[in-house]
């Protein structure tokens, strides 16, 4: 089992949206490193959902990978914001995984808090200028965050 952090802008798609839908394809990833992370995900992997571009960015809940990576159909749709004219059905460039809602935290674990945790000292998440939307999380980081929210999950 592996652990991941997936960033989302809540005005576009929030943890509440995922909760309402139950399960959703995580589409629109157009960064090669993030795509490669998607390709290494397996069903059962844990995900922290991180809200970005908000007043207090941070981890707001959990989801789970429920499919292996497969081609992102938005890359083939000329009407999609995520269309990629260089991608073809026989050689897709972009993948997605399906994710399922697991829980919401009663309080956000803020980026400022994460910056002060020794477990995250070496994480790209806390480095200035990091904009990658998908990051691996170590088991110790995963367990530490869970220890903070054990009593706070809804």
| 135-150 pLDDT, tens digit each | 999 999 999 999 998 7
pLDDT for the residue numbered 151:
52
pLDDT of residue 100: 98
Residues in the chain predicted with pLDDT less than 50, given as ranges, are 153-154
Q: What is the pLDDT of residue 128?
A: 85
Give the three-class secondary structure for 38: helix
- Residue 122 burial (CB count, 10 A): 11
Per-residue pLDDT, 112: 95
C-alpha closest to that of 72 among 91, 100, 97 = 97
Strands annotated E in the chain: 3-8, 23-25, 46-51, 58-65, 70-71, 95-96, 98-110, 134-137
Three-state DSSP at 12 gives coil
Helix, coil or strand: residue 113: helix
Per-residue pLDDT tens over the stretch 4-28: 999 999 999 999 999 999 999 999 9
Q: What's the pLDDT at 124? A: 93
| Per-residue pLDDT, 129 | 81
């Amino acid at each position: 089992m592996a652990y991941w952090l997936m960033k989302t802008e809540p005005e576009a798609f929030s943890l509440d949206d995922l909760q309402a839908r139950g399960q959703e394809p995580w589409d629109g990833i157009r960064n090669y490193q993030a795509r490669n992370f998607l390709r290494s995900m397996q069903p059962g992997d844990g995900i922290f959902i991180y809200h970005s571009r908000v007043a207090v960015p941070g981890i707001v809940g959990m989801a789970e990978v429920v499919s292996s990576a497969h081609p992102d159909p938005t890359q083939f749709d000329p009407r999609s914001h995520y269309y990629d004219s260089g991608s073809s059905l026989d050689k897709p460039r972009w993948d997605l995984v399906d994710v399922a809602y697991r829980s919401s935290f009663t309080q956000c674990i803020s980026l400022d808090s994460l910056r002060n945790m020794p477990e995250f000292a070496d994480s790209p998440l806390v480095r200035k200028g990091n904009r990658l939307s998908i990051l691996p999380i170590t088991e110790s980081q995963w367990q530490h965050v869970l220890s903070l929210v054990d009593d706070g999950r809804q």
